[in-house]
Amino acid sequence: MVTVVDRPAIEYVVKEAVAAGIEQIILVPHSSKASIENYFDRNFELETTLENKKKLDLLKEITEILPPYVSVISVRQPQPLGLGHAVLCAKAVIGEDDFAVLLPDVLVKDSDTPNDLSLMIQRFNDTQASQIMVEAVPDRLVDQYGIVDVKHSPNEGESIVMQGIVEKPAIGTAPSNLSVVGRYVLPAKIMKLLENTPKGAGNEIQLTDAIALLQETETVEAYRMKGQTFDCGSKLGYLKAVLHNGVDHPKLGEDFKALIKELEL
């Protein structure tokens, strides 16, 4: 489990969902990642030890990671066949519900309350149009992301109808510089499309390709985020996440800022 300051990265992502009003979390880890499921579960041995040792602050921290009304379910992805396949693994649990997808290697630092994901959910509920969170990236990076095709770039905090979406286009062929961040609000019916989505980029079943199919018959919108992203899948993105969350940390923040000052040349 990747840790950012003193918390697993996944905790930030789950808390982002909870802040947007989501009460049921479905984790889809690979079978080698059981520690993620365990983290959100109770650990009676550890709890009893902390209680006996009167380490009540720590006990509170591990028992109050999420509010009591939030449930966490886990469904495994037996083989790494792509993001679309991972989403499909949750089909039986999702049933007929519309849902959000949050990729755990991207942390979102929200600039506002309600957060970006809340605004996407609100927009979905008002219009029934699927919402894909995007941000602008430099042209030289478009081949690392899903890229949306839109008539013009929306303002931050706004949604615009998408004309298309393409996974990791070659540089020079991308329809825009608006990249898919890894936050989606989707209708239950996308599961049917995923079942029939052939392997795409990287020989994987791509969520992007199922969204492109959905967009042939329904309105799908690109929502331009107001907050900031840290891609923990890249070394620099990870360091940026540590830096920002370290500075914002309620207990360590001030000392961490002093440390950064000390390092200034």
Of 73, 77, 78, the residue nearest 99 (C-alpha): 73
Q: How many CB atoms lie within 10 A of CB 136?
A: 13
**Cβ atoms of residues 154 and 180 within 8 Å:** no
Residues 91-110 that bind ligand G1P (CB under 6 A): 103, 106
Segment (H or E) for 254: helix 253-263
Residues 181-210 as x/- pattern, contact with ligand G1P by CB under 6 A: -x-----------------------x-x--
Q: Which residue, 123 or 183, is less far from ligand G1P as judged by CB?
A: 183
Residues 161-180 as x/- pattern, contact with ligand G1P by CB under 6 A: ------x-----------xx
Give just the sign of the alpha carbon dihedral 247, 253, 258, 262: negative
Give the tokens for residue 201: 């980029």
Closest separation between CB of residue 180 and ligand G1P, Å?
Answer: 4
Q: Which residue, 11 or 167, is less far from ligand G1P as judged by CB?
A: 167
Closest separation between CB of residue 102 and ligand G1P, Å?
Answer: 11
Distance CA 249, CA 165 (A): 37
Cα angle: 234, vertex 76, 45; to 5 degrees: 90
Closest separation between CB of residue 14 and ligand G1P, Å?
Answer: 17
Q: Which residue, 18 or 103, is less far from ligand G1P as judged by CB?
A: 103
Give contact residues for ligand G1P (rule: CB under 6 A): 83, 103, 106, 145-146, 167, 179-180, 182, 206, 208
